[in-house]
Structure 1
Amino acid sequence: MQVIENVLNLIYPRRCPVCDNVLRYKESKDLVHEECKKKIRYIGSHVCAKCGKPLKLTDQSEYCADCMAIRHRFNRGFSVFSYRSISGSIYRFKYMGRREYADFYAKETARKLGKKLNRLGIDAIIPVPMHKDKQYLRGYNQAAEYASKLSKLTGIPMYDDVIVRTRATRPMKELDLRGRRNNLKKAFNIIRNDVKFKCILIIDDIYTTGSTIDEIAHEFQMAGVKEIYFLTLAIGQTT
């Protein structure tokens, strides 16, 4: 498999997930240009104890303002990158077919959060589902691509056939908080009741208000799941 991968890299060279330029062969194992590593900003330790958003140095509470105002359904969330430092990369990953970026994202996630995730006792990784029509047009679900790669590195099984998005929803970036929550009501449905989980990790690309995670968490809580965590590639600072 390694030989095949090396040949494919020669024919179809990988692109750096930060600048999108072709990686030199010696950098293909790192999956990123050496000089581009310096441009990435990772989420530190001074974060909201609920959603994982970075807190300002002056914040005295262990929770961000958003989480103090909203009662979330998940136990806790984690993110890898600061949104501003990786936003262009995630855009290309979602809309420009750069599925290969998932390898870098998963590698960095395992390096930064792998031990922490394994200590949680997670039974299943659940990628946020796309509506079938939207996925057909895009050709793939970016959350599932990322989740699949992370599953292989952590050994935690991924299930992408447990919950579905039953109706197309408006783009979340067009809506305010109330609009986001109304937009997602009854948008998800668990279709497999034969799989019983005690603890799950929901995976998405970006965390903003938590509306999507909350709606999916609600469905799993109704199915008897006791502990629900989420992981996203990127997250912004609290509003």
Structure 2
Amino acid sequence: MAYADEWALDMLYPPRCPFCDKVTEKSEPICPSCRKKIHLTGDTVCMWCGKPLSDKRTEFCMDCAKYKHHFIQGKAVWVYEKPVPESIYRFKYQNKREYGRAYAKEMAERYGTWIRKRQIQAVVPVPLHKNRKRKRGYNQAEIIAEELGKILGLPVYTDLLTRVRDTMPQKMLNQTERKNNLKKAFKTTKSSVQLQYILIVDDIYTTGSTLDAAAAALIEAGSKGVYTCCVSMGRGY
């Protein structure tokens, strides 16, 4: 049954390179020419959020040097530079759901060992408010999380965390406004979370305000520690 479902999904949403949108093989979701254009976050990154840094002697990015996070550590696959922003835009707003599999595969290949060493027990996507999900038709973070869970053999809880406030888009706000915008925006659907270590998944990391708010809700409900992993993030300089 699972094979039939996967076959049907491939027919509806055949694997496509998330950057040039050409149909690809499942074994190689990104075409060779596009892979040359994208930039991995690299090894010299902020020890807290994972933003790429230019100076190996620097431990934290500018944001993490000023603000504390609720999550323990974060990672991202690519730097938020062309052609990544265009790819994520199509994924979120133009129904290119098949990109989620490519993103998750890259995420698993890059950070699968890191995730296992953190003893992650479950994957949780950042939820959309019901109004926004109804309008868009799907939650892009949920697609990535479910694909990542399949690859790594981890349970995915799409209903553990809910967004109770329909907040303003974060891209329109500054750092302080982002944090205030997301205060009490998330809550758990269970009064007690019996998972010690959780991985929160999202598409883009900017300042970490969204992931912080989500992590705070999980920790308040009993989680011992939260890690994060995103498709892309900007540079920490």
Task: Work out whether the TM-score is over 0.5.
Answer: yes
TM-score (norm 1): 0.91
Q: Specify the SS of the correspondent of 2:90.
A: helix
Matched AA of 1:138:
R
Match of residue 38 from structure 2 = 40
> Which consecutive segments of 4 or more residues in structure 1 shift more than 6 A?
none
Matched AA of 1:65:
M
Match of 1:162 among 160, 163, 169: 160
Instruction: For 2:221 and 2:3, locate their aligned partners in 1 and report how far apart those are by CA, in whole Å.
Output: 41
Q: Aligned-pair distance for 1:144?
A: 0.3
User: Given that residues 125 and 158 in structure 2 are in contact (C-alpha distance below 8 angstroms), is that contact kept between their aligned partners in structure 1?
Assistant: yes
Matched AA of 1:23:
V
**CA offsets, 1:185-237, max 9 Å, x none?**
11111111354111111111111111111111111221121111101100110
Instruction: For 2:8 and 2:166, locate their aligned partners in 1 and report how far apart those are by CA, in whole Å.
Output: 40
Match of residue 202 from structure 2 = 204
Match of residue 174 from structure 2 = 176
Q: Aligned-pair distance for 1:60?
A: 2.1
> Cα 1:6–1:192, aligned 2, differ >3 Å: closer, same or farther?
closer
Match of residue 64 from structure 2 = 67
Q: Aligned-residue CA RMSD in angstroms?
A: 2.0
Match of residue 16 from structure 1 = 17
> Cα 1:194–1:32, aligned 2, differ >3 Å: closer, same or farther?
same
Number of corresponding residues: 235
Kindly, what percent of the aligned residue pairs are identical?
43
Instruction: For 2:28 and 2:5, locate their aligned partners in 1 and report how far apart those are by CA, in whole Å.
Output: 18
Q: Which deviates more from structure 2 when the two are superposed, residues 7-16 or residues 208-217? A: 7-16
Q: Aligned-pair distance for 1:35?
A: 1.8
User: Given that residues 23 and 32 in structure 1 are in contact (C-alpha distance below 8 angstroms), is that contact kept between their aligned partners in structure 2?
Assistant: no
Whether 1:77 aligns to 2:78 is no
**CA offsets, 1:110-166, max 9 Å, x none?**
111111111110111110000001101101000000000000001111101111100
**CA offsets, 1:95-118, max 9 Å, x none?**
100000011111111111111111
Instruction: For 2:214 and 2:195, locate their aligned partners in 1 and report how far apart those are by CA, in whole Å.
Output: 14
User: Given that residues 106 and 149 in structure 1 are in contact (C-alpha distance below 8 angstroms), is that contact kept between their aligned partners in structure 2?
Assistant: yes
Q: Which deviates more from structure 2 when the two are superposed, residues 59-68 or residues 142-151? A: 59-68
Instruction: For 1:173 and 1:189, locate their aligned partners in 2 and report how far apart those are by CA, in whole Å.
Output: 22
Matched AA of 2:164:
T
Instruction: For 2:6 and 2:197, locate their aligned partners in 1 and report how far apart those are by CA, in whole Å.
Output: 34
> Cα 1:131–1:7, aligned 2, differ >3 Å: closer, same or farther?
closer
Matched AA of 1:129:
P
